[in-house]
């Protein structure tokens, strides 16, 4: 599948040649000036939410924060004091009911299980959306969001902010230029072994600052607030504010946490979209908690002149490809700097090892006098600025859902294959069908709490 450049994306979405498109109460309309401030509502204010609030809040000439929503006053920090003109909410549904006509765009930075409802409420109302990775909690949710955003022609951006790093641009240029030949194999991984947290035993009343039922949201199971030893060894909330990530009811584990950042590199460089086969292995499956180790193999078909490729995704302390290709644990680039790698591209003419910030061509002696291709990918004006510009009728942002939605969906599909019992199956992406694998098929669209159904 071809990865459109910005001009092509505009044309494909019906924007090019149709006049400048800008906002009227959140709906794209022709002929208006694109210089007015974008009225943005932020849902989820702690952690990555604070990152969104801070970056959008700095754009005072282009953005006005009109609403701030979080279920936990403590987690929200000082956001309300920093932006006193923004109206405060605990429930995004109340926020939309009251301010929908005053909102142009929404940034969602909540736990994974609570992405879908506010994102879809915004998109269906014609609002532009910035959403934290991994987009949604299930395969079906990712697909519905992606398709509906395209139908509504709203500007979108998934929180893969490392997409703006210059090293990633150079890596993509190298792969696309054929520097290592045809790439038929990619190994992608996140190190460590975070997962399988302690089960709660100490149940207490939620903090007064936390609206617990609103935090639970869509989860169909009856969770009580508790504290336990977190993965960092400190006693804190079993779920809120952070450790939800390692419980299937709320999070998507380290795959959901990191895959959209790491797979962004091969997805961009190799024009990937949907695999045709998926196989998962790893630790024993725990029905409640995400694993410490897992491995997924994705098979992608040929794309134009590009050959079929296997992508190996691993959550592991040591990537298996290091042993396979005789690589040491520490590899330095020509400048003597460590390459903190998360991707190995294997081509017919060599290999490329890269992290977010640095890369190296291998074997080094073969590429000692290699001349880099000319830069073709422009520097980003700023990841949030890309989105704001797109909201005002400019070019689509680089991680819009047309590109990042299939990537997020694929990451969650690997989780689904693992959780369903280390399954291997053919994947019919068009029909959203795990061929002859009812266990995976049943898990593509999970049950939601009464009152929060799709």
Residues 428, 320: one domain? yes
User: In this predicted structure, what is the pLDDT of residue 53?
Assistant: 98
> What value does the mean pLDDT of the chain take?
91
State the residue for tokens 């939309």. 96
Assess whether 241 and 258 both reside in one domain.
Answer: no
**Does residue 310 carry a pLDDT above 70?**
yes
In a domain, 108, yes or no: yes
| Tens digits of residue pLDDT in 139-175 | 999 999 999 999 999 999 999 999 999 999 999 999 9
The answer on 27 and 72 residing in a single domain is yes
Question: Is there a domain that residue 452 lies in?
Answer: no
Q: What pLDDT is stored for residue 453 in this prediction?
A: 81
Q: What one-character-per-residue DSSP string does 56-87 give?
A: HHH-TTTEEEEEEE-SBHHHHTTHHHH-TTSE
Predicted pLDDT of residue 33 = 35
Q: What is the CATH number of the domain that holds 283?
A: 3.30.360
Q: Do 171 and 86 have their domain in common?
A: no
Structure tokens at 37: 């401030």
Six-digit token string for 154: 């709203």
pLDDT of residue 13: 35
* CATH number of domain containing 136: 3.40.50.720
Residue of higher predicted confidence among 235 and 411: 411
Nearest-5° angle of CA 446, CA 94, CA 71? Answer: 70
The total number of structural domains in the chain stands at: 3
Same domain, 134 and 173: no
Judge whether 130 lies within some domain.
Answer: yes
Predicted confidence (pLDDT) at residue 16 exceeds the cutoff of 60:
no
Query: Is a pLDDT exceeding 60 seen at residue 27?
Result: no
Same domain membership, residue 110 and residue 178: no
Do 209 and 327 fall within a single domain?
A: no
Q: Kindly state whether residue 107 falls inside one of the protein's structural domains.
A: yes
- Are 426 and 372 part of one and the same domain? yes
Residues 182 and 302 reside in one and the same domain: yes
| Among 117-131, 222-236, 336-350, the least confident range | 222-236
**What burial letters (b/e) apply to 153-175, b meaning 16+ CB within 10 Å?**
ebbbbbbbbbbbbebbbbbbbbb
Q: Tell me, yes or no, whether 313 and 218 share the same domain.
A: no
Residue % of the chain over a pLDDT of 90:
87
Percent of the chain with pLDDT over 70: 92
Whether 298 and 322 share a structural domain:
yes
Q: Would residue 369 count as lying in a domain?
A: yes
Does residue 450 lie in a domain region?
Answer: no
What is the predicted pLDDT for the residue at 256? 97
- The 10s digit of each residue's pLDDT in 179-201 is 999 999 999 999 999 999 999 99
407 assigned to some structural domain: no
Is the pLDDT score of 15 beyond 70? no
Expressed as residue numbers, the domain containing 20 is 6-162+381-400
Check whether residue 232 and residue 336 sit in a common domain. Answer: no
pLDDT at 351: 98
Residue 94: count of CB within 10 angstroms of its CB: 12
What's the pLDDT band for 3 if we cut at 50, 70, 90? very low
pLDDT at 334: 86
Name, in order, each residue with C-beta under 8 angstroms of 254's C-beta and a sequence gap of 6 or more: 190, 192, 194, 195, 290, 315
Q: Catalogue the long-range contacts made by 224-233 (C-beta closer than 8 Å, 24 or more residues apart).
A: 226/200, 226/201, 226/202, 227/200, 227/202, 228/197, 228/198, 228/199, 228/200, 228/201, 228/202, 229/198, 230/197, 231/194, 231/197
Residue-level pLDDT at 31:
28
Overall average pLDDT of the 276-290 stretch: 97
In a domain, 442, yes or no: no
């Amino acid at each position: 599948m071809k990865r459109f450049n910005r001009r092509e994306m505009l044309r494909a979405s019906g924007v090019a040649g149709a006049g400048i498109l800008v906002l009227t109460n959140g709906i794209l309309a022709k002929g208006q000036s694109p210089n007015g401030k974008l009225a943005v509502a932020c849902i989820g204010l702690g952690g990555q939410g604070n990152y969104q609030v801070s970056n959008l809040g700095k754009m005072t000439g282009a953005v006005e924060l009109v609403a701030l929503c979080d279920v936990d006053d403590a987690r929200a920090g000082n956001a309300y004091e920093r932006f006193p003109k923004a109206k405060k909410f605990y429930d995004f549904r109340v926020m939309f009911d009251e301010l929908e006509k005053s909102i142009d765009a929404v940034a969602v930075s909540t736990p994974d299980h609570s992405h879908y409802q506010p994102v879809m409420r915004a998109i269906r109302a014609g609002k532009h959306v910035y959403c934290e990775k991994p987009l949604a909690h299930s395969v079906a949710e990712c697909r519905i969001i992606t398709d509906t955003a395209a139908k509504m022609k709203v500007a979108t951006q998934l929180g893969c902010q490392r997409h703006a790093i210059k090293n990633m641009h150079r890596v993509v240029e190298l792969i696309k230029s054929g520097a290592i030949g045809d790439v038929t194999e990619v190994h992608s991984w996140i190190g460590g072994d975070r997962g399988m947290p302690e089960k709660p035993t100490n149940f207490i009343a939620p903090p007064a600052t936390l609206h617990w039922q609103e935090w639970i949201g869509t989860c169909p199971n009856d969770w009580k607030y508790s504290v336990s030893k977190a993965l960092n060894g400190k006693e804190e909330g079993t779920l809120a504010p952070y450790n939800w990530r390692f419980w299937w009811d709320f999070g998507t584990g380290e795959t959901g946490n990191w895959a959209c950042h790491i797979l962004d590199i091969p997805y961009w460089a190799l024009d990937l979209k949907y695999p045709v086969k998926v196989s998962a292995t790893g630790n024993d499956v725990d029905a409640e908690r995400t694993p410490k180790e897992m491995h997924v193999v994705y098979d992608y078909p040929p794309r134009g002149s590009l050959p079929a490729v296997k992508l190996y995704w691993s959550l592991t302390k040591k990537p298996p490809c290091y042993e396979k290709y005789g690589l040491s644990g520490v590899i330095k680039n020509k400048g003597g700097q460590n390459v903190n790698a998360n991707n190995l591209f294997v081509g017919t003419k060599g290999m490329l090892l890269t992290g977010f910030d640095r890369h190296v061509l291998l074997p080094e002696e073969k590429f000692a006098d290699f001349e880099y291709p000319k830069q073709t990918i422009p520097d980003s004006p700023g990841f949030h600025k890309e989105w704001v510009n797109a909201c005002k009728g400019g070019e689509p942002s680089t991680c819009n859902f047309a590109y990042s939605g299939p990537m997020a969906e694929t990451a969650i599909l690997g989780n689904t294959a693992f959780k369903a019992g280390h399954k291997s199956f053919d994947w019919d992406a068009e029909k959203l069908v795990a061929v002859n694998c009812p266990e995976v098929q049943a898990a593509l669209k999970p049950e939601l709490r009464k009152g929060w159904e799709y």
